[in-house]
A and B are shown apart, each in its own frame.
Chain A
């Protein structure tokens, strides 16, 4: 847009006025950065449509990477301190996107992993790392939907909630306990856990899991799943294709219509199954 040209004598071309207005704008910018809080973030973001990472980034008042990281940390902590008040899904998703931007900023600044407060949902939502530079998130307790549609993300936490790493690609999770449906429709995922819920790696492709105890229907509809497990729930590997599953102690039952091989400890009963069952020494 072309601005109108001033025709009066006291015009903006006088150096003093230009300097004054520049200084005022600079002060306004720094004040805005200081005053920016979660309620203003939500005010800028409010929409009828789904929010996206680009829109969240656009709603933040800074483009400088260091300032951005500081602001994101401030907003995430503010959200975590009163998380129960964020009842609407879009608000929680927005906070999830904040964590994503924060971990990406931390990676760009070479800070390694990002430590997050406990119990946040949608952590690392659509986070995108690179094959040679995984994004790293550390937390005590991670809520539901962590790592949703993420790429090249690693999560290290004491526990993760349900539906984590859904539709994620090339991600890894190290945790003690994991909720249900972990890794649903994911590709090339790695999971290390003591205990995982039902439907582990549902419909996943080329995933790897090392879990002490899994729930029911682990590996349902998966492709090329590799799993090391000690205790399993019912219907292990149902309808899985080309699975390689090691069961070191006991399996409740093997799933129907699966293909691949199951290595199972001595002493387990003979199963009627479509898997090739091999006894481990």
Chain B
């Protein structure tokens, strides 16, 4: 086989330019796979993606032997487009996998069990279709037809129904009848036409991929018996949808805003990222990030000088008064007197006192009258996350009592380990509501020199209300800066809560569940912002 190194490099650089230089390491063209570091993986493969190096290795002899030199560039483009277009990143692929799984369940209700592996194979095939269609519609039509021709030849008699259907779809989508497969059974041809019609509606807009993939699932499942048949209809793996040894929570971050809790839990379990409890914690943590207090605003004490207005800085002014960053920011260069700036300062009159951020003790009602956080998004639990994370971000300790009735309550002593608290926050007991007096007493007596804020989240249907109000009041008296607030879930007014108000607590009635988060975020801002 005749090829020169500069020629191969020119092909690779053209492919990279076509794909807009995707953010991965430069692909490596392996000329001698037998003596290569990844020889075992490269055997009989057109290429591999090595996750530890984030690099593609293309097996040049295999490609040239089975597909021909003329198709090397198309193979490079095929592979690189995965990192530039579809799926682009793991979140997109996870979204598509979750969608594909649900669609499979919808179309195969009466059939066999549906797995995430099957959905992943469909997702990979779908992304291939998007990528090669992009290449075909942007000047590489002949190259892509030639590539799939060569693949078809290489498959020979092993080509199954799935492969034929995929080729039929490409013929329809690219508008090149009989260029790839030619004659197909009528039903298969009709299905390919349907798929192409749906596919051609803004095919490269990622926002529409989920619906397109669900639609594709409706036809695709007819043409395979085993999911592996879809994998063999592809050229090589891109590895984007693999965990790659990254922290699962990082991979799943922000997906909570895009899917419901049950779908999220199933996705986490389906890809083997974590347990149900971990999934719940990640879900609530993700949602609470929007509301939590992250930084403390800078407050100045009375009498302190604060910058008021910029002034010109001259050579006669003290050098330490010169604000060089501000000078460069405003004019780009420092010309003494002309562009240099200093600050006129003013004495603050606003009374503000720096306080130690109080530790927070969350007392969360997990009785039957509250929403179960494992089945629906529970505003009370989400509010607990917001309060706990705000306190944790500002260096305060967080303690927790999750209670239901006397036999069942869970306690986390005040600590800086917010994760311990988060794991317990998603606990649900159901049953009756008996306020955990002894737990409250023990938590309030821990480190009495540290100020505490007691945050009760409940619907105030408490059996031992008089006792609870008394001991809540006692807890406030342990430290002069102790304070407390009660968030009444789904109530405009509660006579029972008035007893707690008399004990010195602020009462926040919440008639609409979704307001609870904003109200508690406001309280967190007041305490820690």
Residues of A within 8 A of B (CB): 1-12, 17, 21, 24-25, 27-29, 31-32, 35, 40, 42-44, 46-50, 59, 61
Question: Per DSSP, are chain B's interface residues mostly helix, strand or loop, or mixed?
Answer: helix
In the complex the two chains form, is A47's CB within 8 Å of B139's CB?
no
Add 11 more A-B contacts to A1-B85, A28-B200 (CB < 8 A).
Answer: A1-B206, A2-B20, A11-B139, A12-B137, A17-B137, A32-B197, A32-B201, A47-B262, A48-B262, A48-B265, A59-B211
**Residues of A close to B211: CB separation below 8 A:** 44, 59, 61
Interface residues on B, range: 35 or more
A47 contacts across to B, CB distance below 8 A? 102, 259-260, 262-263
Q: Would B18 and A43 count as touching, CB distance under 8 A?
A: no
Q: Are A40 and B215 in contact (CB under 8 A)?
A: yes
Cβ–Cβ contact A6 & B138, under 8 A: yes
Residue from A5, A12, A29, A48 with most neighbouring chain B CB atoms (10 Å): A48
Query: Are B198's CB and A28's CB within 8 A?
Result: yes
The answer to whether A43 touches B262 (Cβ under 8 A) is: no
Residues in A neighbouring B202, C-beta threshold 8 A: 25
The reply to whether the CB of B105 lies closer than 8 angstroms to some CB of chain A is yes
**Residues of B97-123 contacting chain A, CB below 8 A:** 102-103, 105-107
Q: A64 to B106, alpha carbons, bound, how many Å?
A: 28
In the assembled complex, how far is the CB of residue B99 from the closest CB belonging to chain A, in whole angstroms? 9
* Complex CA–CA separation, A224 to B72 (angstroms): 80
Query: For the complex, what is the distance from the CA of A217 to the CA of B175, rounded to whole Å?
Result: 69
A165 to chain B, nearest CB (A): 18
Q: Which residues of chain A come closer than 8 Å to B218, judged between CB atoms?
A: 40, 43
Contact A8 B197 (CB under 8 A): no
CB pair B84–A4 under 8 Å, yes or no, is yes
Q: Please state if B17 and A5 are interface contacts (CB–CB under 8 Å).
A: yes
Interface string of B197-227 (1 = CB under 8 A from A): 1111110101000010011011000000000
* A11 CA to B197 CA, complexed, in Å: 23
8 Å CB contact of B139 from A1, A8, A32: A8
A1 touches B197 (CB 8 A): no
**What's the least CB distance linking B465 to chain A, in Å?**
21
CA distance A31 to B196 in the complex (A): 11
A49 touches B18 (CB 8 A): no
With A43-B106, A44-B214, A47-B102 as known contacts, state yes or no: A6 contacts B18, CB within 8 Å: yes
- Do A46 and B106 contact each other (CB < 8 Å), given the known contacts A29-B201, A59-B211? yes
Instruction: Point out the residues of chain B lying under 8 angstroms from A12, CB to CB.
Output: 137-139
Do A43 and B206 touch (CB < 8 A)?
Answer: no
How far, in Å, is B443 (CB) from chain A's closest CB? 35
* Chain A residues positioned under 8 Å from B201 (CB to CB): 25, 28-29, 32
Structural contact, A4 and B263, CB atoms closer than 8 A: no
B14 CB within 8 Å of chain A:
yes
- Asked if B138 and A49 make an inter-chain contact with CB atoms under 8 angstroms apart, the answer reads no
Measured in the bound complex, the distance between the Cα atoms of B363 and A104 in whole Å is 43
Evaluate contact between B197 and A48: CB separation under 8 angstroms. Answer: no
14 cross-chain CB contacts under 8 A: A3-B84, A4-B18, A6-B18, A7-B14, A12-B137, A17-B137, A28-B199, A32-B198, A32-B201, A43-B214, A44-B211, A47-B262, A48-B262, A49-B260
Q: Which of B85, B102, B197 makes the CB contact (< 8 A) with A46?
A: B102
Establish whether residues B103 and A46, one from each chain, have CB atoms under 8 Å apart when the complex forms.
yes
Q: Given known contacts A8-B140, A49-B263, is B204 in contact with A3 (CB within 8 Å)? A: yes
Please name the residue on chain A nearest to B173 by beta carbon. A24
Q: Is B362 an interface residue (CB 8 A)?
A: no
CB contacts (< 8 Å) of A49 on chain B: these are 259-263
Distance A46 CA – B217 CA, assembled complex (angstroms): 13
Is B88 interfacial (CB 8 A cutoff)?
yes
**A190 CA to B206 CA in the complex, in Å?**
47
Q: Complex: how many Å from CA A49 to CA B18?
A: 41
A46 and B105 CA atoms in complex are apart in Å by: 8
Residues in chain A near residue B105, CB distance under 8 A: 46
Instruction: Point out the residues of chain A lying under 8 angstroms from B137, CB to CB.
Output: 12, 17, 21
- Known A-B contacts A32-B198, A42-B106, A50-B260; A7 and B18 likewise in contact (beta carbons under 8 Å): yes
Query: Is B506 in the interface zone, CB < 8 Å from A?
Result: no
Closest to A8 in B: B139
**Which residues of chain A are near B103, meaning CB under 8 Å?**
43, 46
Contacts of A4 in B (CB 8 A): 18-20, 22, 81, 84-85, 134, 138
B-side contacts of A46, CB under 8 Å: 102-103, 105-106, 214
Nearest opposing residue in chain B for A58, CB measure? B211
The chain A residue with its CB closest to the CB of B14 is A7
A42 to B198, alpha carbons, bound, how many Å? 16
Contact with A along B422-463 (1 / 0, CB 8 A): 000000000000000000000000000000000000000000
Nearest B residue to A24 via CB reads B200
CB atoms of A48 and B106 under 8 A apart:
no
Assess A43 versus B107: contact at CB under 8 Å? Given A7-B17, A8-B139, A8-B140.
Answer: yes
**With the chains together, A61 CA to B140 CA distance in Å?**
30
What is the bound-complex CA distance between A43 and B18, given in angstroms? 35
Interface string of B11-24 (1 = CB under 8 A from A): 00010011110100
Contacts of A27 in B (CB 8 A): 197, 200
Is there an interface contact between B266 and A48, defined as CB atoms closer than 8 Å? yes
Chain B 256-273 near chain A by CB (<8 Å), digits 1 or 0: 000111110110000000
Residues of A within 8 A of B260 (CB): 47-50
Q: Which of chain B's residues have a CB closer than 8 A to the CB of A40? A: 215, 218
Q: Complex formed: what's the CA distance from A46 to B108 in Å?
A: 12
With A4-B19, A8-B18, A32-B201 already in contact, the answer to whether A43 and B261 are too (CB < 8 A) is: no
Mark out the residues of chain B between 212 and 259 whose CB falls within 8 Å of any chain A CB in the assembled complex. Answer: 214-215, 217-218, 259
Chain A residues whose CB sits within 8 angstroms of the CB of B214 once the complex forms: 43-44, 46
CB-based nearest A residue for B92: A1
Residues in A whose Cβ lies below 8 Å from that of B84: 3-4
Q: Please name all residues of chain A whose beta carbon is closer than 8 Å to the beta carbon of B217 when the two chains form the complex.
A: 43
Minimum CB–CB distance for B262 against chain A, Å? 3
**Nearest opposing residue in chain A for B21, CB measure:** A4
Residues of chain A contacted by B199 (CB below 8 angstroms): 28
A47 CA / B103 CA spacing, docked (Å): 9
Of B137, B201, B211, which is in contact with the most chain A CB atoms at under 10 Å from its CB? Answer: B201
Q: What's the least CB distance linking B198 to chain A, in Å?
A: 6
Q: A32-B201, A35-B197, A49-B261 are known contacts. Are A43 and B215 too (CB-CB below 8 A)?
A: yes
| Bound Cα distance A46, B88 (Å) | 25
Chain A residue at minimum C-beta to C-beta distance from B207: A58
A9 and B139 contact, CB distance less than 8 A: yes
Q: Which residues of A contact B18 (CB under 8 A)?
A: 4-8
Are B197 and A28 in touch, CB under 8 angstroms?
yes
Complex contacts, B19 vs chain A, CB 8 Å = 4
Query: B residues within 8 A CB of A44?
Result: 211, 214
**Chain B residues near A50 (CB-CB < 8 A):** 260, 376
On chain B, the residues within 8 Å of A6 by CB distance are 18, 138-139
Of residues 155 through 180 on chain B, the ones whose CB sits less than 8 Å from some CB of chain A are: 175
Rounded to whole angstroms, the CA-CA distance of A275 and B180 in the bound complex is 85
> Which residues of the other chain, A, contact B107 by a CB distance below 8 angstroms?
43
- B266: which A residues are within 8 A, CB to CB? 48
Residues of B within 8 A of A24 (CB): 175, 200
A-B pairs, top 6 by smallest CB distance, nearest first, are A49-B260, A4-B20, A48-B262, A8-B139, A28-B201, A28-B200
CA of A49 to CA of B375 in the docked complex: distance in angstroms? 9
Task: Give CA–CA (A64, B326) in the complex, Å.
Answer: 50
Enumerate chain B residues within 8 angstroms of A2, measured Cβ to Cβ.
20
